[in-house]
Structure 1
């Protein structure tokens, strides 16, 4: 039987009007420190965004979400944070913040296949992967 790997994941959310605390799930970040695995995928549903805030700028929000992906991948040009190790990048990406882009608290789990687990989490919380 394949070994199970400990992982943590968080849901990426867009909160267009922070004072209202309404949000839509737009992505998932999954990290397994033992496996040096860090993955993030994002899908911004512009219809849902406009329903929460008709004045929201989806292009600007998408740019900020793309920065999450670049930092997750370790693209050094994206930010000095991208140069850090897997665990540090995950902790930075999931740090509590009161901005338009937030994450849930990290949740732990065990997985035989991190890619499949990532896909299942994305489909459960965001939609088709």
Structure 2
């Protein structure tokens, strides 16, 4: 039996001006059913974001990214989603929305350690 499990991931993008469609990658969401794991890691490059929109609400963007991490963490930080299983929280977070922080398309892979995979993807695709 393999020690690797299927996982799904999506980038979190910040789209400061929806009408322009420009974005900055600011985080990654990872879900691994086999390990009952859902996690998010974020990194906001404020200078890149300000280059797209000097008037962007940085505090609001930071709060939105923090809320995503809270939903993934579960417990009180997840609010109404606290009682939901990891898969349901992931599906809720990747649902399309027209807000400044948006999920990208979902991709898949194999991993033995979804938490380490979350860090690897953050380094590869966001930082």
- Listed as ranges, the gaps of 5+ residues in structure 1 are none
2:41 is the alignment partner of 1:38: no
Deviation at 1:79, TM superposition (A): 2.1
Secondary structure of the 1:55 match is coil
Tell me the residue number matched to 1:4: 4
Q: Select the structure that is richer in helix.
A: 2
Answer whether contact 2:28 2:40 (CA < 8 A) is retained. yes
Deviation at 1:2, TM superposition (A): 5.3
Aligned-residue Cα RMSD (Å) equals 1.5
What are the equivalent positions in structure 2 for 1:76-115 lying under 5 Å apart?
Answer: 76-115=76-115
Deviation at 1:123, TM superposition (A): 0.8
Deviation at 1:36, TM superposition (A): 0.6
Q: TM-score, normalised by structure 2?
A: 0.93
Answer whether contact 2:12 2:27 (CA < 8 A) is retained. yes
Answer whether contact 2:6 2:111 (CA < 8 A) is retained. yes
Q: TM-score, normalised by structure 1?
A: 0.91
Deviation at 1:3, TM superposition (A): 1.2
Give the Cα–Cα distance (whole angstroms) in 2 for the partners of residues 73 and 108 of structure 1: 21
Secondary structure of the 2:16 match is coil
CA 96–20 in structure 1, closer or farther in 2 if over 3 Å, else same: same
Secondary structure of the 1:93 match is helix
